[in-house]
Structure 1
Amino acid sequence: MQNENNKLIALVVEDNQDFAQLVCDILHIQGCTPHVAYRAEAALTIARNINPDIVFCDLGLPGDMNGLDFARSMRADASLRSIPLVAITGYTSEQDKAAAMAAGFNMVFPKPFKFVDLTNAIAQYARRD
């Protein structure tokens, strides 16, 4: 779902506020309209309200729901299950990547990520209605 300016809507789920702002700034430069949530529970509510084109999510989130739980919840919700999920995480072992993919992520990028990673994810997975 693109907004009125025909920009892709992105949701960033990241508890580190500085890092979240960095990702939002890069997404804005890429022509997206970014939204941010610092906890997975809040991100689910926001996702249901804005129907983002793509979600970038950390795996190590505080609270009752981590990034894997968030992905499983999105995939279990009929209104959210088709939204592309991209993990941006410090958990970079092969086991961590496999767990992220099994939970429903489409891609996993290690922190620190490369600018081109976000560009490629947007180009590959963002819906263009």
Structure 2
Amino acid sequence: MQTSPDRGDDTLLQQSPLRVLVVEDNRDLAKLFCDLLQVMGCVAEAVFNVRAALDSARAKAPDLVFCDLRLPGGKSGFDFAAEMRADPELASIPLIAVSGYADGPEREKALQAGFNRVFEKPVKFAQMMEVLNSIRGE
């Protein structure tokens, strides 16, 4: 592949993949979500509860988190968002709520808890691409 001298080799440079954390208690859905994110050029990891999500976020500093609102183990996605926003190391990470009940009061509650956006399950490909492109600055 040739590049023009005035452009340099910037066309050969590739962006590093976005690191995405998926917090979802349905393991099949989590795997599907991660597989789709990987096809979209991301490095995706799934965790299944709030404690694991916080541990992973602190250890790996993801570029984006998708989180189910209704999680097992005594803590919900709302709790996760509140804990992320209270932690200075995690507070600026974009956080997208994912729920089968993403309308009305649950949407407002999610936004008040600190989620940037709320997507209804099943999440649409176009919504995911919009968020990823926004983070990539495209």
CA positional deviation for 1:121: 1.2
User: Normalised by the size of structure 2, how large is the TM-score?
Assistant: 0.85
Q: What secondary structure is seen at the aligned counterpart in 2 of 1:23?
A: helix
Q: 1:8 to 1:119 in 2, by over 3 A?
A: same
Does 2:83 align with 1:73? yes
CA positional deviation for 1:117: 1.0
Number of equivalences: 123
Does 2:55 align with 1:45? yes
| Paired residues of 1:86 and 1:121 also in contact (CA < 8 A) | no
Runs of 4+ in 1 over 6 A off after TM superposition: none
User: Normalised by the size of structure 1, how large is the TM-score?
Assistant: 0.91
Q: Greater CA radius of gyration, 1 or 2?
A: 2
Letter matched to residue 28 of structure 1: Q
Structure 2: segments with no counterpart, 5+ residues: 1-14
Aligned-pair RMSD on alpha carbons? 1.3
Which structure is higher in RCO with an 8 Å CA cutoff and minimum separation 6? 1
| Corresponding position of 1:63 | 73
**Aligned positions of 1:1-129 closer than 5 A:** 6-124=16-134, 126=135
> How far apart, CA to CA, are the structure 1 residues paired with 2:123 and 2:17?
23
> How far apart, CA to CA, are the structure 2 residues paired with 1:55 and 1:27?
12
| Percentage of matched positions with identical amino acids | 47
